[in-house]
Amino acid sequence: MLFKPSQKISPIISPSELKNLPTENLIILDARVGKNVHQNYLNKHIKGARFVDLDKDLAEIGEDAAFGGRHPLPKIGKFAETLSKLGISEDSHIIVYDDKNGANAAARTWWMLRSFGFENVQVLDGGFQNAEKEGLEFSSGEETYEKARLIKKENWLLPALTLEVVENELTNNSSTVIDVRDSYRYNGESEPIDLVAGHILGAINIPFSENLDENGNFLSPEILKEKYSKLLQGKSENLIIHCGSGVTACHTILTLDYAGLKIPNLYVGSWSEWSRREGKEIAKEI
């Protein structure tokens, strides 16, 4: 049985709060992405942070993104092995950061850890840049730590939906499907990553960037709760969140949890799968 704190902790933690955390059972994960990402980690990371790779640790990339998208979830047994290698155990308190305000692999890591059964998981508000600004201690090179006992799980605990389920929900008008990509991608003006521009017919657009203030920090839970309550008024309370490849979608799922709202469904395959699958309806706003 995984460790559960006596009271639910916030999924977001500030650098100043991280500074004051007890180090016992504390594990910090560096989930930055991009070119030469591991070298960037070796050059500089928050002291003690352990490197986690989006493509290798947080996804199991297949041969055809039309079936699973660009970042499908790994098998839960493989993720369990990753956690063991990272030294994560039942009583770990895990802090995750990236350099995209949590909008990239940090939120995906949070979702996967929560879906695995961990409750004591937080994303660093403002990420790597905020940690530098607030004067957290940094280090370089590889960190040394011991493996942890393998934790066995049978299934992901949070709902991750398939393309077929999403399509059925749209057909029956029984869910609200939210596309969190930037509006220009949703509108079909241009598509910098996937093969086709546009969006899933019936999906609405609430860009993940609107979860943040002008400094790249999360808006307060109160503001976020009011904002989403207004945006979703009159719509189905059964939410399905998607993005390009099931990574940034986790930022909005994290946001809704932070706001005290129910954790919604994740469509992992997202636009990268839908737009490649033959015969699926695609819409544009231009």
Phi, psi of 189 (to 5 degrees): -65, -40
Residue 80 has a CB neighbour count (10 Å cut-off) of 17
- Kindly name the residue from 27, 103, 243, 256 that is annotated as catalytic: 243
Q: Does 250 qualify as catalytic in the annotation?
A: no
Taking the C-alpha atoms of residue 124 and residue 97, their distance in angstroms, rounded to an integer, is 5
Distances (CA, A) of 283 to 171, 194, 206, 280: 15, 15, 16, 10
How many other CB atoms sit within 10 Å of the CB of residue 145? 13
The catalytic site residues sit at: 243
